[in-house]
Amino acid sequence: MPSSSSRLLLPPLLVGTLLANSLLAGAAIAQDAPLAQRPEVIAAAAKLRQQVIDWRRDFHQHPELSNREERTSAKVAEHLRALGLQPQTGIAHHGVVAIIKGGKPGPKIALRADMDALPVTEQTGLPFASKVTTNFRGEPVGVMHACGHDAHTGILLGVADALVAMREQLPGEVMLIFQPSEEGAPADEEGGASLMLKEGLFKTFKPEAVFGLHVFSSVQAGKIAVRGGPLMAASDRFSIKVHGRQTHGSAPWKGIDPIVASADLISTAQTIVSRRTDISNLPAVVTFGAIKGGIRYNIIPDDVEMIGTIRTFDEGMRKKIFDDLKNVSEHVAAAHGATAEAQVPDQPGNPVTVNDPALTAKMLPSLQAVVGRENVYEPPLQMGAEDFSFYAKEVPGLFFFVGSTTAGIDPATAPSNHSPKFLLDELSLDVGLRALLQVTLDYLHAPPSTQ
């Protein structure tokens, strides 16, 4: 959860956004000739292109849910050992961390990739589509890399290969973070970036900067989207249980119907954002993702359970929505003679993902060098969330989007991340590898006075 100092989050974010915009504009104006793509990046990408594809397809075919990434982490650790590294395993359950020490003195940085998949039944028709199934929240479901973490893992393995190959000429040190449970730990478990930090990730190796990327369906393949300041929303989960009284469906007056009460609750909750929240400056979202109650057509059940998510950019707005949702839940249920247990949030959430404005401006030319200035742009605020935000609260961070939707397909209508039809153009693997490697080398080789 954000610290108490984040209660005044809005003004710094707005200032950060303005600063980022001015810095990005200044960087673009100053660049009469953009940085060239490093020849070692081009050579490494050519050498590793098929290997990264093979890794990604293997991970895609064998997805694992959050905090269950046993095979994936084992494969990652195995390859890092083959490179001569000494990976530390078992961090935050299945996290893998390794340090590449360059042959020359220089800065310390960290690179992060997430490894977990989602409880989604794949519908892509790919020859390497996932056929994995499991039980999630008591129900059978498929497991799919519907968000692209398979790509992130493959890309970072490729970057590791490239950096190890040039280690003697490399200034500084690079921490490789292969993170589990970005999608959120199961109920009653901890996981992800927050747990890695809690277990001491940056205790003995404190990087100057941390970098990460995400393949993104709303960005065309071959393009990169990045913005300084706030990028992705804070994310919180909630759970609400409405208690009624069971009765036969033919005689609803003999009981208390929690299904009707829940339907009214869901409808009324939509007014929290549309009528009670000032979204003129920053957006907010309240979404119910699942509702479960009853098992037979003619029996009114005792209880209904609902879960969902809240997305915000401002800490004051975030806490007000928590209070409003609790208030709506309890009072709407009471109006029906029912009661409600509202856990809002039901576990610590992710803070806003904020790109350090100065770091973003500094590395913008590196991203432009990879795909061309015309193919790097600033996206709007994203309501999706990322627990990369926890790293970026500890040290300056830069997180950028790599386009994953094939040319000729409109990114606005393409199946989104988390869709069972999410389809990754493997061009994004090449772009991601080159971008992350270029950013790494440009930062490490920069003169010390500019660090």
CATH code of 337's domain? 3.30.70.360
Same domain, 121 and 240: no
- pLDDT given at position 187: 82
| Domain termination residue (choose one: 343, 373, 403) | 343
Same domain, 256 and 171: no
The Cβ-side half-sphere exposure at 148, using a 13 Å CA radius, reads 26
Same domain, 16 and 93: yes
Same domain, 240 and 221: no
As for how many domains the chain has, the answer is: 2
Average pLDDT over residues 144-149: 98
- pLDDT given at position 449: 56
Same domain, 304 and 402: no
Cα–Cα distances in Å, from 384 out to 164, 284, 381? 33, 11, 9
pLDDT higher than 90, residue 10 = no
| Domain termination residue (choose one: 321, 343, 365) | 343
Residues composing the chain? 451
CA-wise closest residue to 432 among 367, 354, 358:
367
pLDDT higher than 50, residue 176 = yes
Same domain, 57 and 131: yes
- Between 10 and 297, where is the model more confident? 297
Structural domain including 280 reads: 235-343
Q: Where are the alpha helices (DSSP H) in 62-119?
A: 70-82
Q: Which residues are catalytic?
A: 116, 182
DSSP state of 293: -
Grade residue 6 by pLDDT with cuts at 50, 70 and 90. very low
Please tell me the distance from the alpha carbon of residue 98 to that of residue 442, in angstroms, as a whole number: 21
Reported as a single tens digit per residue, the pLDDT across 261-315 is 999 999 999 999 999 999 998 999 999 999 999 999 999 999 999 999 999 999 9
Q: pTM score > 0.85 for this model?
A: yes
- E strands, 180-265, where? 209-220, 224-225, 229-232, 234-243, 247-248
Reported as a single tens digit per residue, the pLDDT across 43-89 is 999 999 999 999 999 999 999 999 999 999 999 999 999 999 999 99
pLDDT higher than 70, residue 20 = no
Sort strands 234-243 and 303-312 into parallel, antiparallel or unpaired. antiparallel
Helix pair 427-445, 149-165: axis angle to 10 deg: 40
